[in-house]
Amino acid sequence: MAGALDHLLVLDLTSHLSGPYCAMLLADHGAEVIKIEPPQGDSARAMPPFVNGESAPFMTWNRNKRSVVLDLKQAADKDALWRLVDQADVLVENYRPGVLDRLGFGWPELHRRNRRLILASISGFGQTGPYSARGGFDLITQAMSGLMSTNGPADGPPHRLPIAISDVTAGMFLAFGVLAAVEARHRTGEGQHVETSLLEAATSLAVYESAHYFATGTRPERIGQAHRGSSPYQCFQTADGYITLGASQQKFFRQLCELVGAPELLADPRFATNADRVRHNDALVAALGEKLRTRPSAHWLAALEECGIPAGPVLYYDEVFTDPQILARDMVVETNHPVTGPFRTMGVTVKLSATPGSVRQAAPRLGEHTQEVLTRKAAE
């Protein structure tokens, strides 16, 4: 079955994670994505761990693509790229601002050559502004966006989220921008330059924190596991592990107090409303935690589910990728790589009923499709 984007030809000039992740999302939904790599390859090909010498991270976010090697310092290879540009719908790049212009493929030149082309750019800090020339990594933009200032224990130092949140969200936002530009092109016939940055992507996640600052003018404090607007809403220790539960709604809070055998909490004026509970969250968590530590996780999760109170276990990744719900939603799929053989990876997150996305092929070897793509395009 054809994917929703099978009419799009995408040139992926990106490396590492943010740009490749954007191009992967487009490829998963049917776009033909040609990954243009320098002779040394995408830097992510050197990232451990390896499977038979192939980078598992690289294979994870470069599936459904084909690899073409071009040295853009060479005139012949520049000409080859221009021939691909003539037929492309989208060009994705994550060079530092100014590099693409120096290579001769800046937005004015691209737009003159192919009026329908959409140029999609990710950078550390954006194409404009006083920081635009700086290089930016996930770590740096987590720090500068405020994410680190609010993450971690309330009495501890700032913490980096141990996932590449700036990279991945920037890739998602750019894919959204590409689709918005494709929709606009249906009306105007013209492409446009779409861009975002790791800094903006990370900053945009501060929905509660920005509301706090704009409303009060004060710095949001680090509050550890607590939630800024809901209580109880966090992780709790049980007799044999940890669970999460969200019982800030009044009916859920009443049910929870009865379930754990603490009806006295319902009569405590500190916990009368959700706003009261947020203000006195530490005291509430201490009281609930004492009760929850008396029974194992399985007991509480079964009881909470029976009551309809949202709750879940804290899973490690070996448990996540064997969880029946994850498997039922096809979030673990297997591809066949010519070097590694069978390779498991994550599935397609967004499900479309009529034109579903799919993982059709493993990530390409470096330059695997150079001759095929350039010969075919030249013939066309």
CA 370 to chain centre: 29
Residue 25 DSSP SS3: helix
pLDDT at residue 2, as a whole number: 83
- In this prediction the pTM is 0.94
* DSSP-derived secondary structure letter, 271: G
Task: Please give the full DSSP string across 245-264, using - where no structure is assigned.
Answer: EE--SHHHHHHHHHHTT-TH
Characterize the bridge pairing of strands 9-12 and 32-37.
parallel
Contact 147, 161 (CB under 8 A): yes
Give the active site residues: 227
DSSP 93-155: E-PPTTHHHHTT--HHHHHHH-TT-EEEEEESS-SSSTTTTS---HHHHHHHTTHHHHSS-TT
- Characterize the bridge pairing of strands 90-93 and 65-69: unpaired
Please tell me the distance from the alpha carbon of residue 71 to that of residue 80, in angstroms, as a whole number.
10
- Domains present along the chain, CATH in parentheses: 9-205+324-379 (3.40.50.10540), 233-237+242-313 (3.30.1540.10)
How far is residue 22's CA from residue 14's CA, in Å, rounded to a whole number?
A: 9
Q: What is the pLDDT along the chain (380 residues), one digit of tens a residue?
A: 789 999 999 999 999 999 999 999 999 999 999 999 999 999 999 999 999 999 999 999 999 999 999 999 999 999 999 999 999 999 999 999 999 999 999 999 999 999 999 999 999 999 999 999 999 999 999 999 999 999 999 888 999 999 999 999 999 999 999 999 999 999 999 999 999 999 999 999 999 999 999 999 999 999 998 999 999 999 999 999 999 999 999 999 999 999 999 999 999 999 999 999 999 999 999 999 999 999 999 999 999 999 999 999 999 999 999 999 999 999 999 999 989 999 999 999 999 999 999 999 999 999 999 999 999 866 56
- How much is the pLDDT for 379? 59
